[in-house]
Amino acid sequence: MSTKVFIVDDHPMVVAGLHSLLTQLENLEVAGSVSNAFEAIPFLKQNKVDVILLDINLPDISGIDLCKKIHTEFPGIKIIGISTFSDRSYISRMIGNGASGYLIKSASKEEIAEAIEAVLKEKMYLGVSSEHIARPFSANSTGNLPALTRREKEILSLISEGLTNHQIADKLFISPLTVDSHRKNLLTKLNANNTASLVRVAIENGLI
């Protein structure tokens, strides 16, 4: 069965480009597209959608706010934020409001496919490498957080890439139990309840 992707973006050229890329991918179907939040909710009520590519800047309300509304009303739908911006504040707010991924609009066909596959597997996908994420000054300073060990930083970075405990273990040549222990320590140190909030806190504080 094809994965149904819904596009919410007010730029016709972007929508056309995404539509063209998505139709080249196997087992994916464009369920439809709208240009604003006002049309998005009714569409979701009437159509089956698996994944939404959601622009963070819409003409009526913020895509960040719409993300929260969709996540609340349709928790089974995976949301991937799309934008021309790589500012970490946008990324962390989208994740905080329920998005499972974030892509820059110039993403390749392969990146889009990878992102969709990741979120459908309950993973987090950030299509922006940490060194390219803009780092504006934030009131949340790493000085207010417990120090992380080198290994914890490595594992945190891999978690943000959507890797599972077993995948991280294979990559670092350690046991999955050790990875799980580090993951639990990171959740405690960064006062996070789950992987999404862990990644959000890490982004906000420049840890990844």
> CATH no. for residue 185?
1.10.10.10
> CATH no. for residue 27?
3.40.50.2300
Residue 121 domain-assigned (yes or no): yes
Residue 137 domain-assigned (yes or no): no
Tokens for 96, please give them: 């905080």
Helix (H) or strand (E) holding 8: strand 3-8
pLDDT tens sequence across 22-44: 999 989 999 999 999 999 999 99
Q: Same domain, yes or no, for 57 and 124?
A: yes
Q: Same domain, yes or no, for 188 and 103?
A: no
Give the span between the Cα atoms of 30 and 26, in whole angstroms.
12
Boundaries of domain holding 101? 3-132
Give the span between the Cα atoms of 90 and 109, in whole angstroms.
23
The total of structural domains in the chain comes to 2
**Percentage above 70 pLDDT, the chain:** 90
Q: Mind giving me the DSSP string for 66-122? A: HHHHHHHH-TTSEEEEEES--BHHHHHHHHHTT-SEEEETT--HHHHHHHHHHHHTT
pTM for the predicted model, two decimal places: 0.69
- Letter for the amino acid at 86? S
| Residue whose C-alpha is closest to residue 48's, from 85, 2, 80 | 2
pLDDT tens sequence across 97-130: 899 999 988 888 899 999 999 999 888 888 765 4
Q: Same domain, yes or no, for 75 and 163?
A: no
Q: Same domain, yes or no, for 82 and 165?
A: no
pLDDT tens sequence across 126-166: 876 544 444 443 434 445 667 788 898 899 989 888 888 99
Q: Same domain, yes or no, for 160 and 117?
A: no
Which one-letter DSSP state was computed for residue 55? Answer: E
Arithmetic mean of pLDDT over the chain: 85
Q: Same domain, yes or no, for 126 and 69?
A: yes
